[in-house]
Chain A
Amino acid sequence: MAEVAGRAGAKSRPEFRNIHVFQLSSYRLPLAGIVSILHRISGALMFLVGIPFILYLFEQSLTSEISFENYRAIVSGWFAKLVLLALIWAYLHHFCAGIRYLVMDVHLALDKEQARGTALSVLVVSLALTFVVGLKLFGVF
């Protein structure tokens, strides 16, 4: 929230409003805030791209042996792999951040330092797992 100067003459009480989109780059979001907005972005990504794309792959992989080969051909392309990697990140981030929220729902790790720590853990764990799965996806091991 950005602070807006009160009306001239009136008692200057701080007024808090939602920030404008142009203030986004200059706004220093705390770690928990970064986890939160990424939770939303990853969710939207999985809804818009993830569900239809994964269902299409699911259909190709299950319908017949011929379509299974077709599925393998699709997922061996570099662009499809990039899309899959983005979706894998989205799932892992959403999963880890979701567990953090469930933990907070039962009133654990609610103070400032602990909340910052769990937010950092979510980012580290989800990115590390995405990295490992990415290596596997691009055939490094």
Chain B
Amino acid sequence: MTTKRIVVGAHYGLKDWLAQRITALVLAAYTLILLVTLLATPTLDYGSWAAIFGSGWMKVCTVLALISLSWHAWIGVRDIYMDYIKPTGVRLLLQVLTILALVGYACWAVIILWRV
């Protein structure tokens, strides 16, 4: 067991591994929900498309998928940095930018959804 924990490392344990899988399952479920909804929509124009995301439960599903996507992408991208980016400062900078981007994307998506 290591005593020197790396600041820009993983979270040492089962948590991230499990989170990656659970968020993956949520995203797979959302993919199927969206696919079935689209297949059940005979003509896809602005009205029917906006109606899909106008419903409350679809908004909730989409937000849950967005949270899962951000979390999933964070773990995956961080793993890539951990493998290829060795200088601590550069890795920290990339990690911070990644978190800011993902949180920003999630906010943007919520803004888009709540305008419908």
* Known contacts A44-B77, A62-B115, A98-B24; A51/B49 CB under 8 A: no
Is B112 touching A55 in the complex (CB atoms < 8 A)? yes
Q: Are B53 and A55 in contact (CB under 8 A)?
A: no
CA of A92 to CA of B49, assembled, Å? 23
| A62 in contact with B109 (CB, 8 Å) | no
Contact of B112 among A46, A52, A62 (CB under 8 A): A62
B interface residues, how many (CB within 8 angstroms): 24
Complex contact A44–B28 (CB within 8 A): no
Residues in B neighbouring A43, C-beta threshold 8 A? 73, 76-77, 80
Could you tell me if B108 and A55 are in contact, using CB atoms closer than 8 angstroms? yes
Main secondary structure of the interface of B (DSSP, over half): helix
Which bucket holds chain A's interface residue count?
20 to 34
A63 to B24, CA, bound (A): 28
| Cβ of B67 to closest chain A Cβ, rounded Å | 14
CA distance A98 to B68 in the complex (A): 15
A124–B24 alpha-carbon span in the complex (Å): 21
Measured CA separation A52–B69 after assembly (Å) = 13
Q: Across the interface, do A68 and B109 meet the contact criterion of CB distance under 8 Å? A: no
Residues on the A chain within 8 Å of B46, using CB? 61, 64-65, 68
- Using a CB-CB cutoff of 8 Å, which residues 31-50 of chain A contact chain B? 40, 43-44, 46-47
Contact across chains for A105 and B108 when beta carbons are under 8 A apart:
no
Identify which of residues 10-69 in chain B touch chain A, using a CB-to-CB cut-off of 8 Å.
Answer: 21, 24-25, 28, 31, 45-46, 49-50, 53, 69
With contact pairs A40-B80, A61-B49, A102-B24 given, residues A51 and B112 touching in the complex (Cβ less than 8 Å): no
Partner of A59, one of B49, B69, B112: B112
Q: 13 A-B contacts, Cβ less than 8 Å apart?
A: A51-B69, A52-B105, A55-B109, A58-B112, A59-B108, A62-B50, A62-B113, A62-B115, A63-B112, A64-B46, A68-B45, A68-B46, A98-B28
Given A44-B77, A68-B46, output 11 extra A-B contacts at Cβ < 8 Å.
A46-B73, A47-B98, A51-B102, A52-B105, A55-B108, A59-B108, A61-B49, A62-B50, A68-B49, A95-B28, A98-B24
Mark A residues whose CB is within 8 Å of B: 40, 43-44, 46-47, 51-52, 55, 58-59, 61-65, 68, 95, 98-99, 102, 105
